[in-house]
Structure 1
Amino acid sequence: MGCFGFLKVMMFAFNGIIFLAGAAILAVGIWVKVDSSSIFGLIHQIDNVPAGLSQVLNVGYLLIAIGAILLIIGFLGCFGAVKESRCMLMLFFIIVLLVFIAEVAGAVVILVFKPLAKDLIKKFGAEAVKSIKRDFGANPDVTGLWNSTMSGLKCCGFNNYTDFTDSPYYTNSLEKYPPQCCATMEPCDSTTAAIVSTLSVGGCFPKISSLIDDNIVVIGGVALGIAALELCAMVVSMTLYCQIGSKIA
């Protein structure tokens, strides 16, 4: 296999991975939009959510858009390499370059606005606790969303079990806490809930924060891997573009 053939194979391999990644992200985006019991549905049910955090509700659309773009990129790269189309290779290079620039800009924005994000989460937490104390046990939608979230993440409340104190559920069940806060998965009193919360079941926000912190290295590695893949794809596409041009000439 000559150099030209090797480049075509590499181009096809790079973009095959990009195409599959796009399909996976697109599937996740569609799932987020149709899964009304997800954490995003819970955010939607809480009053006075900070304006910045409410944009999280659009994450499904964002994932769908990213997945669709990656599918297009993968198709252009694969088809352009196989058919030796300079037009498709150039279009592929331009789109990948724009995506790469957007990713760098997004990383900079995340670093700059990280303190603001923490402030928004704190404000959201206060409203989430108010929602629990006002609606949990009285509003079926809010109750169902919290139950689904707590069961899925194996957590209790936003911060801990005390978020449910004085809620309609707490009052109507003779000062008992939800089963998700209890070891026996039956409503329990404050003593049992406190022990379980300390030993195994924490709040949903600490649980999510812990998951992110524990996997931050993996997330960073994946991001760097994607960036490296994009750079390699751009280099290979331009090399193929030039070689196809020299063959035509």
Structure 2
Amino acid sequence: ATMQCFSFIKTMMFFFNLLIFLCGIALLAVGIWVSVDGTSFLKIFGPLSSTAMQFVNVGYFLIAAGVVLFALGFLGCYGAHTESKCALMTFFLILLIIFIAEVAGAVVALVYTTMAEHYLTLLVVPAIKKDYGSQKDFTQVWNSTMEGLKCCGFTNYTDFEDSPYYKENNETFPPYCCNLSANNTAKEQCTDTKAFNNNVQGCFRQLLYDIKTNAVAVGAVAAGIGGLELAAMIVSLYVYCNIK
């Protein structure tokens, strides 16, 4: 019965990691495609993909994620099939490092939110004052963010003072800072007084609020991922310890 249980768990580990391996190959292929031929990617997936690609270089992100999944899947499959203790232990250690990094990141995010806001303010606000209104991609990213989160700037509307947009539009602010749609800019300008009276929340605070509002869903996803990682580590250790 013990041998049958071991064989079953080893087989399940092999097929589970085979799925991870194939997902890694798929992500790697898409990442390379996006990096080499981003135009075709945008044509197929439409304007939403363009917005996403402006937040982060999706191609490189997919390649990195694909490589990690590829390596994990390969080590898991190889270790389960050949009963290689070295491959299984490497698989376990990589998962353990990822798990610890996720827990550490969550703790830092919870404990040092105020500190993170301070340092991000020192980085982001000067960039807004320098590039918003002059750098097309940077401006589009912020417009998409402010429209999606219903927010204004990183801290508030004052982030846009002395920016190229502010100077070129008669010292007015983006319409999102006055709860206006982008199409209303020509009809009604967002002046200092209107922005002050509307008091639209900064995007960092709004993002934190949205995360707290959806804390149950976010926590459930995080717990699910953590549970899968723990299960994979336990199974790999079980197989490792029962190899003769």
Secondary structure class of the residue paired with 1:206? helix
Q: Contact 1:133 / 1:163 at 8 angstroms: preserved in 2?
A: yes
2:103 counterpart residue number: 107
- 1:85 equivalent in alignment to 2:82: yes
Secondary structure class of the residue paired with 2:170? coil
Q: Contact 2:31 / 2:61 at 8 angstroms: preserved in 1?
A: yes
C-alpha distance in 2 between matches for 1:85 and 1:127: 50
Secondary structure class of the residue paired with 1:38? helix
- 1:118 equivalent in alignment to 2:120: no
Secondary structure class of the residue paired with 1:76? helix
Q: TM-score by structure 1 length?
A: 0.62
C-alpha distance in 1 between matches for 2:196 and 2:97: 48
1:207 counterpart residue number: 206
Q: Contact 2:129 / 2:164 at 8 angstroms: preserved in 1?
A: yes
C-alpha RMSD over aligned residues: 4.4
Shift of 1:163: 2.5
In the comparison of the two structures, how many residue pairs are matched?
Answer: 222
Deviation track 1:124-177 (CA, whole Å, cap 9, x = no partner) reads 314433333344334555434433443454432112233324433233323432
Distance change in 2, residues 1:157/1:91 (3 Å): same
C-alpha distance in 1 between matches for 2:15 and 2:123: 48
1:184 counterpart residue number: 181
1:232 maps to a residue whose letter is: A
Task: Note the residue ranges of structure 2 that are not aligned, 5 or more in a row.
Answer: 39-49
C-alpha distance in 1 between matches for 2:30 and 2:207: 18
Deviation track 1:84-115 (CA, whole Å, cap 9, x = no partner) reads 3112x641333223431453266347636865
- 1:11 equivalent in alignment to 2:13: yes
Shift of 1:70: 2.6
Q: TM-score by structure 2 length?
A: 0.63
Q: Contact 2:153 / 2:160 at 8 angstroms: preserved in 1?
A: yes
- 1:130 equivalent in alignment to 2:126: yes
Q: Contact 2:92 / 2:236 at 8 angstroms: preserved in 1?
A: no
Distance change in 2, residues 1:40/1:171 (3 Å): same
Distance change in 2, residues 1:207/1:67 (3 Å): farther
